[in-house]
Amino acid sequence: MTRAQRIGAFAVIAGSVWVLGMLGWLPLSETVQGEVWPALPLLVLVLLGAYAFINIGYNLLVFRECPEAYYELMQEVQEAKDDLRAKNVDIA
């Protein structure tokens, strides 16, 4: 089974359970049946969105810049060019 099929199957099962609950075929209390259950799909969407936002946002915040690597490289590039020119390699 591919990953898409596995995740799809899980979504179908979860969706069916939700529909059963909405139809009143599950032993749910009155508050759950009337107020919690109908909002579940929306809740899942909101949670997923929040997870994406927090995950990407956090990782963006801790994304490190490495200017020192750039300056080190530039220095080495110069060194390499000088050395290679002395060895008759065509350097721009």
Partner 1 sequence: MSRFHVSITPEPDFQSSTTNKAHSQQSSTLPLSKPSYASGHLNMSNSHNKYSVLLPTYNERDNLPIITWLLAKTFKEHNLDYEIIIIDDASPDGTLEVAKQLQSVYGENHIVLRPRAGKLGLGTAYIHGIQNATGNFVIIMDADMSHHPKAIPEFIRKQKERDYDIVTGTRYVNGGGVYGWDLRRKLTSRGANFIADLLLSPGVSDLTGSFRLYKKDVLHQIINATISKGYVFQMEMMVRAKQFNFSVAEVPITFVDRVYGESKLGANEIVGYLKGLWTLFTSI
Residues 9/25, Cβ–Cβ less than 8 Å? no
Closest contact distance (angstroms) between CB of 69 and partner 1 is 4
Binds partner 1 (CB under 8 A): choice among 2, 27, 29, 35: 2
d(CA 55, CA 86): 50
Fill in the per-residue mask, 33 to 72: x = in contact with partner 1 (CB under 8 A), - = not in contact: -------------------x--xx--xx--xxxxx-xx--
Task: Retrieve residue 20's tokens.
Answer: 């059963």
Residue 8 CA to residue 81 CA, distance in Å, equals 56
Residue whose token pair is 């530039």: 74
Tell whether residue 90 is a contact of partner 1 (CB under 8 A).
Answer: yes
Q: Which residues contact 1 (CB under 8 A, 6 or more apart)?
A: 9
State the nearest-atom distance from the C-beta of 43 to partner 1, in Å.
18
Q: Binding of partner 1 at residue 14 (CB under 8 A)?
A: no
By CB under 8 A, how many residues form the interface with partner 1? 29
